[in-house]
Amino acid sequence: MHAWRELLDGAPDDADALRGLDQIFTRAGDWAQLADVLDREVQAAPEGARKALLLRRADVARDQLDDPEGEREALAAAWREDPDDDDLTDRLLALYRERGDLDAVAEALET
Protein backbone atom coordinates (compact mmCIF):
# COMPACT_ATOMS: atom_id res chain seq x y z
CA MET A 1 0.00 0.00 0.00
CA HIS A 2 2.87 2.35 0.75
CA ALA A 3 4.11 2.10 -2.84
CA TRP A 4 0.66 3.05 -4.17
CA ARG A 5 0.54 6.07 -1.86
CA GLU A 6 4.00 7.19 -3.01
CA LEU A 7 2.92 6.90 -6.62
CA LEU A 8 -0.13 9.05 -5.92
CA ASP A 9 2.03 11.69 -4.25
CA GLY A 10 3.84 12.17 -7.56
CA ALA A 11 0.77 11.74 -9.79
CA PRO A 12 -2.44 12.27 -7.79
CA ASP A 13 -4.69 11.32 -10.71
CA ASP A 14 -2.89 8.10 -11.62
CA ALA A 15 -5.71 5.70 -12.48
CA ASP A 16 -3.66 2.55 -11.82
CA ALA A 17 -2.62 3.73 -8.35
CA LEU A 18 -6.18 4.73 -7.51
CA ARG A 19 -7.51 1.35 -8.66
CA GLY A 20 -4.83 -0.39 -6.61
CA LEU A 21 -5.77 1.51 -3.47
CA ASP A 22 -9.45 0.92 -4.23
CA GLN A 23 -8.83 -2.83 -4.25
CA ILE A 24 -6.69 -2.75 -1.10
CA PHE A 25 -9.19 -0.73 0.92
CA THR A 26 -12.13 -2.77 -0.35
CA ARG A 27 -10.47 -6.03 0.70
CA ALA A 28 -9.41 -4.55 4.04
CA GLY A 29 -12.87 -3.13 4.71
CA ASP A 30 -11.35 0.31 5.28
CA TRP A 31 -14.47 2.14 4.15
CA ALA A 32 -13.46 5.69 5.03
CA GLN A 33 -10.23 5.35 3.05
CA LEU A 34 -12.14 3.71 0.22
CA ALA A 35 -14.59 6.61 0.14
CA ASP A 36 -11.68 9.04 -0.19
CA VAL A 37 -10.15 7.00 -3.00
CA LEU A 38 -13.49 6.76 -4.80
CA ASP A 39 -13.82 10.55 -4.61
CA ARG A 40 -10.39 10.86 -6.22
CA GLU A 41 -11.26 8.24 -8.84
CA VAL A 42 -14.37 10.22 -9.77
CA GLN A 43 -12.29 13.36 -10.25
CA ALA A 44 -9.77 11.52 -12.44
CA ALA A 45 -12.28 9.44 -14.43
CA PRO A 46 -13.35 10.24 -17.97
CA GLU A 47 -16.94 11.39 -18.40
CA GLY A 48 -18.46 8.00 -19.18
CA ALA A 49 -16.93 6.27 -16.16
CA ARG A 50 -17.95 8.66 -13.38
CA LYS A 51 -21.52 7.46 -12.87
CA ALA A 52 -20.54 3.91 -11.85
CA LEU A 53 -17.93 5.24 -9.42
CA LEU A 54 -20.43 7.68 -7.93
CA LEU A 55 -22.99 4.91 -7.44
CA ARG A 56 -20.36 2.83 -5.71
CA ARG A 57 -19.47 5.82 -3.53
CA ALA A 58 -23.16 6.22 -2.63
CA ASP A 59 -23.37 2.54 -1.68
CA VAL A 60 -20.28 2.78 0.55
CA ALA A 61 -21.71 5.89 2.24
CA ARG A 62 -25.05 4.16 2.88
CA ASP A 63 -24.01 0.59 3.64
CA GLN A 64 -20.65 1.00 5.35
CA LEU A 65 -20.33 4.53 6.71
CA ASP A 66 -23.91 5.36 7.75
CA ASP A 67 -23.42 8.66 5.93
CA PRO A 68 -26.74 9.76 4.40
CA GLU A 69 -25.31 13.11 3.33
CA GLY A 70 -22.43 11.39 1.51
CA GLU A 71 -24.93 9.07 -0.14
CA ARG A 72 -27.09 12.02 -1.22
CA GLU A 73 -24.13 13.94 -2.63
CA ALA A 74 -22.89 10.94 -4.60
CA LEU A 75 -26.36 10.08 -5.92
CA ALA A 76 -27.02 13.68 -6.94
CA ALA A 77 -23.69 13.81 -8.77
CA ALA A 78 -24.45 10.48 -10.49
CA TRP A 79 -27.88 11.79 -11.48
CA ARG A 80 -26.28 14.88 -13.02
CA GLU A 81 -24.17 12.49 -15.11
CA ASP A 82 -27.29 10.65 -16.33
CA PRO A 83 -30.62 12.36 -15.51
CA ASP A 84 -32.46 9.94 -17.82
CA ASP A 85 -31.71 6.93 -15.59
CA ASP A 86 -35.14 6.20 -14.08
CA ASP A 87 -33.83 3.81 -11.42
CA LEU A 88 -31.29 6.39 -10.26
CA THR A 89 -33.95 9.11 -10.25
CA ASP A 90 -36.23 6.90 -8.15
CA ARG A 91 -33.42 6.13 -5.70
CA LEU A 92 -32.52 9.80 -5.31
CA LEU A 93 -36.15 10.85 -4.88
CA ALA A 94 -36.71 8.11 -2.29
CA LEU A 95 -33.70 9.38 -0.34
CA TYR A 96 -35.01 12.95 -0.44
CA ARG A 97 -38.46 11.77 0.69
CA GLU A 98 -36.94 9.68 3.47
CA ARG A 99 -35.11 12.77 4.72
CA GLY A 100 -38.27 14.86 4.43
CA ASP A 101 -36.62 17.17 1.92
CA LEU A 102 -39.71 17.91 -0.15
CA ASP A 103 -38.15 21.01 -1.71
CA ALA A 104 -35.39 18.82 -3.16
CA VAL A 105 -38.01 16.35 -4.44
CA ALA A 106 -39.91 19.18 -6.16
CA GLU A 107 -36.70 20.63 -7.62
CA ALA A 108 -35.59 17.26 -8.96
CA LEU A 109 -38.97 16.60 -10.53
CA GLU A 110 -38.88 19.96 -12.31
CA THR A 111 -35.69 19.13 -14.18
Tens digit of each residue's pLDDT (9 = 90 or more) over 41-96 = 999 999 899 999 999 999 999 999 999 999 999 999 999 999 999 999 999 989 88
| Residue 97 CB neighbours (<10 A) | 12
3 against 65, higher pLDDT: 65
Q: What pLDDT, on a 0 to 100 scale, did the predictor assign at position 76?
A: 92
Ranked by mean pLDDT, the top range of 2-6, 15-19, 104-108 is 15-19
Sequence-distant (≥ 6) Cβ neighbours of residue 35 within 8 angstroms: 57, 60, 61, 65, 67, 70
